[in-house]
Amino acid sequence: MLSNPGYLVLLEGHSDERGTNEYNMALGDHRAKATMNYLIAHGVPSERLITISYGEERPACTDRTEACWAKNRRAHFLVHRAEPPQRATPHASLR
């Protein structure tokens, strides 16, 4: 991330299916923010990081076992090239 300043990172927080939806969304949010804080502490500018919580909505594994639930408690990184700012096009009446 430090050597590629033209990229943004979406940090997705996930949880397992146990608990209420509200609790799992809060856990996902906590995971995403903890990951963001780690990256910031290691020099990644906060402007390049976006967090979102999916709670239990996007499981990596659907078995009902401890091993599967452990796979679902995660932070997932999506790296995107930053879009250059869009130039405004002149309005027809201003031409």
**Assigned CATH topology for domain 7-83:** 60s Ribosomal Protein L30; Chain: A; (3.30.1330)
Q: How far is residue 65's CA from residue 60's CA, in Å, rounded to a whole number?
A: 13
The three-class DSSP label of residue 27 is: helix
What pTM was computed for the model?
0.82
Which has more pLDDT, 1 or 25? 25
Q: Tell me, what's the pLDDT at 95? A: 43
CB 32 within 8 A of CB 75: yes
Which one, of 33, 79, 24, 78, lies nearest residue 54 by Cα? 24
Q: How far is residue 13's CA from residue 36's CA, in Å, rounded to a whole number?
A: 10
Question: Minimum mean pLDDT among 35-44, 71-80, 86-95: which range?
Answer: 86-95
Positive or negative: CA dihedral 17, 23, 25, 30 = negative
Mean pLDDT of 58-67: 96
Q: How far is residue 30's CA from residue 14's CA, in Å, rounded to a whole number?
A: 9
The percentage of residues in the chain with a pLDDT greater than 70, rounded to a whole number, is: 87
Integer CA distances (angstroms), 69 to 14, 22, 46, 87, in order:
11, 17, 30, 46
Mean pLDDT of 36-40: 97
Mean pLDDT of 40-47: 96
In the chain, where the domains are located = 7-83
